[in-house]
Amino acid sequence: MRKHNIKQYTQPSQNERYEISRCLKSNKPKAQLARELNHSRSTLYRDINHNKGQRGYHPKQAHQLAQIRHYMHTSSFTAFACEYINHLLKST
């Protein structure tokens, strides 16, 4: 069994998503593609499943969906932040 140096989890870049799309159309094995892109198979499957639309996987749409999910995750307020903002608004 060969060991592959797979980096820590990162989402595929937009260029990698175009490569994913090309390989899906040509029925290239996903495991081989994951090795070539230096991502784990689970990263590849996760990206394909999370970012496909009603008509399949489209790289531009996949990248936009991933960016939206990333923005929503990083831009939410904590409960403490909401309470602090309410406190500041009431004290004015």
Judged against a pLDDT cut of 70, whether residue 25 lies above it is answered with: yes
Give the predicted TM-score (pTM) of the model.
0.64
Question: Sorting pLDDT into bands at 50, 70 and 90, what band is 35?
Answer: very high
pLDDT given at position 11: 84
> Where in the chain are the domains?
14-90
Cα–Cα nearest to 8, from 54, 40, 45: 40
What would the pLDDT profile of 51-66 be if each residue is shown by its tens digit? 887 888 899 988 888 8
Number of H helices, E strands in the chain: 5, 0
